[in-house]
Amino acid sequence: MCGRFTITVDLEDLRVYLEDHYDIHDLKTSFDLPRFNVAPGQDVITIINDGAKNRVGTLRWGLVPSFAKDEKIGYQMINAKAETLHEKPSFLPSFQTKRCVILADSFYEWKKTEKGKTPMRIQLASESIFPMAGLWSTFIREDGTKLHTCTIITTEANDLMKDIHERMPVILDEQAEKAWLNPRNKNLYELSAWLKPYDASKMKAYRVSSVVNMATNEHPDCIKPV
């Protein structure tokens, strides 16, 4: 699964990344950066394509389907398995028409050992920002206000992750991301084919302090190697 991640860049680094990768030049939103311990229920930086251009904004992490009876269900839907997106009523409508990517520069996972669970930080070898495949949805509350939410898609672990956890977020390469964000692409079979483990040779991992275990801990100590 993916239950915690980071995006430790500053606003200027994000601005440059958005210009280079998404042709987004007008950053209207001021994001809270850097983030060292992003947790479910919080706003995350996402990219969607409206059919004409890419757009950046925030969505609350934890998908709340449009037909949900209680928005608290979002805390149970922070991840969606790539293998079953087409089977789940909660995910299928978004899979068809509301796909997004969530930006991160690492994610945390807890490795089981004889002494308990050890937190690990997993990055690209380049230590750069990467796009995680996601779905989004809009829920309308009883008072008429709208809640926009998202979930991170996971897949089976690659060779690096197998020693840490059996699942990992889907990290998209440039070609896969372009297909994923294209709202005109209705070929779910083709889209599913992009939801695969990222190349392990292009990733790295290291142990971090248990301070990351508490979602309220939000400081650089979370990413320091142990």
| CATH number of the domain that residue 180 is part of | 3.90.1680.10
DSSP the chain: ----EEE---HHHHHHHHHHHH------S-----EEEE-TTSEEEEEEE-SSSEEEEEEEES---TT-S-GGGGGG-SEEEGGGTTT-TTTHHHHHH-EEEEEESEEEEEEEETTEEEEEEEEETT---EEEEEEEEEEE-TTS-EEEEEEEEEEE--TTGGGT-SEEEPBP-HHHHHHHH-TT---HHHHHHT-----GGGEEEEEB-GGGGSTT--SGGGG-B-
Total-model pTM: 0.97
pLDDT in tens, 88-146: 999 999 999 999 999 999 999 999 988 899 999 999 999 999 999 999 999 999 999 99
Range of the structural domain that residue 73 is part of: 5-223
> According to the model, what pLDDT value does residue 201 have?
98
pLDDT of residue 1: 80
At 26 the pLDDT is 83
Q: For 167-198, what is each residue's pLDDT tens digit?
A: 999 999 999 999 999 999 999 999 999 999 99
In this predicted model, what pLDDT tens digit does every residue of 24-40 receive, in sequence order?
998 877 899 999 999 99
Q: Tens of pLDDT along 143-172? A: 999 999 999 999 999 999 999 999 999 999
Confidence (pLDDT) at 27? 81
Q: Active-site residue numbers?
A: 2, 109
Tally the domains of the chain: 1
